[in-house]
Amino acid sequence: MRATHVPATGTVLVKEWPDPHPTRDGEFVVRLVAASVCGSDLHSVLHGTMHPTAPERAGYPGHEGVGVVTESRSETFPVGTAVLCVPPGELGGTFAEFMLLDDLHAVALPEHVDPDDLTEMRRYMMAQQMGTCLYAMNLYWPTEVPARRAGTCVIMGAGSAGLFFLQDALLRGFEQVIVSDKEESRLQIARELGAHTVRVPQENLPDVVSELTRGEGADLVIEAVGSDALRAEAVEIVANRGIVGWFGLYESFDPAPVPVYEVFRKSVRLQGSVAAQSEPGLVSFHEAVRRIRDGEVSVDYCLGSVHTLEETEDVLRLAERGGEGTVKFTIVP
């Protein structure tokens, strides 16, 4: 099969790999219909945080994808089942023609979904990243009523993850959601979804948050870019006893500065999120599929340009530059 190969930081090739086959009960092979680029892929491939075994892994770093089962030793996922692929994020595998999964790392799509309908399959592919956002949001702001009211939520970054956080924050009852980004095209989507937007650096996010919250700060701030500077700024704009959710992947393996004095002074809770793909029962991913099926969320703004495997490195570099108006890139094997 054809799949990407990352032999070193900054290089993505396409080569032939052995076809995968199930060897144990519960395993099955998926023919990938589509995969999508995640912001964490940029850090992994371009910024030096790739997994130590990356050069040995077919389809790395892709971990968002949809496809159809072609060979199976699973009672849950028989041949012909359309599935959302949920491999462990650090291992990847979706930038390929085929991949091996097991019962613990996939979600069946609704029976009406036609695997040959690329548009519909791409819509459900968004449930992978949306699922990681729902998992994170349950850590940042549990579904049980928190001690403080759901007043203001600030989301740093209007990429696909930030826009999923925006929709979930509104469903959880936040009175106002403020979204910041550099790209006006993404902010336009955020406004259409119901956010107050801030275009940085032309506008000063701390000043806007202070004005809109009457100096109190935001109850919840989510850093969805993956920037050490923004993680520090999140502490600046969060309210006393507020919560800061770190979602964007770390920039490097090196220690990063944290405004410790402000964290103590405000009694801030800092909450990271990782390993959603290990959630028992993949509850958050099932919920994401349901929301898409029932039309509770909008995802069509993510159906951007479609590219071949051979274009993967170029697409990653384009995404690194801001995407030029595209929220989500699709790779089709």
Q: Would the pLDDT of 148 be above 80?
A: no
In angstroms, rounded to a whole number, what is the distance separating the alpha carbons of residues 198 and 191? 10
Q: What is the tens place of the pLDDT at every residue in 242-288?
A: 999 999 888 888 888 899 999 999 999 999 998 899 999 999 999 99
**pLDDT at residue 290 greater than cutoff 90:** yes
Interval 171-204: pLDDT, tens? 999 999 999 999 999 999 999 999 999 999 999 9
Contact 45, 61 (CB under 8 A): yes
pTM: 0.94
Distance (Å, whole) CA 122 – CA 82: 12
CATH superfamily, region 132-272: NAD(P)-binding Rossmann-like Domain (3.40.50.720)
**pLDDT tens, position by position, 304-331:** 899 999 999 999 999 888 888 889 999 9
Mean pLDDT for the stretch of residues 74-87: 97
Residue-wise pLDDT for 104-141, tens only, equals 999 999 999 999 999 999 999 999 999 999 999 999 99
Q: Is pLDDT above 90 for 43?
A: no
What spatial distance separates the first Cα and last Cα of the chain, rounded to whole Å?
A: 10
- The pLDDT of residue 146 is 58
Give me 109's structure tokens. 């799509």
Collapsed DSSP state (helix, strand, coil) of residue 114: coil
pLDDT bucket at 144, cuts 50 / 70 / 90: low
Single-letter amino acid, residue 272: G
Contact 212, 237 (CB under 8 A): no
Quick one: the chain helix, strand, coil %, rounded to 5? 35, 25, 40
Map residue 248 onto helix, strand or coil: coil
Distance from the Cα of residue 152 to its chain's centroid: 22
CA 33 – CA 35 distance, rounded (Å): 7
**Per-residue pLDDT averaged across 43-66, rounded?**
91
Query: CA 115 to CA 107: how far, in whole Å?
Result: 14
Give me the residue spans of the domains in the chain: 2-116+303-331, 132-272
**Res. 236 pLDDT band, cuts 50 70 90:** very high
Which fold, 2-116+303-331? Quinone Oxidoreductase; Chain A, domain 1 (3.90.180)
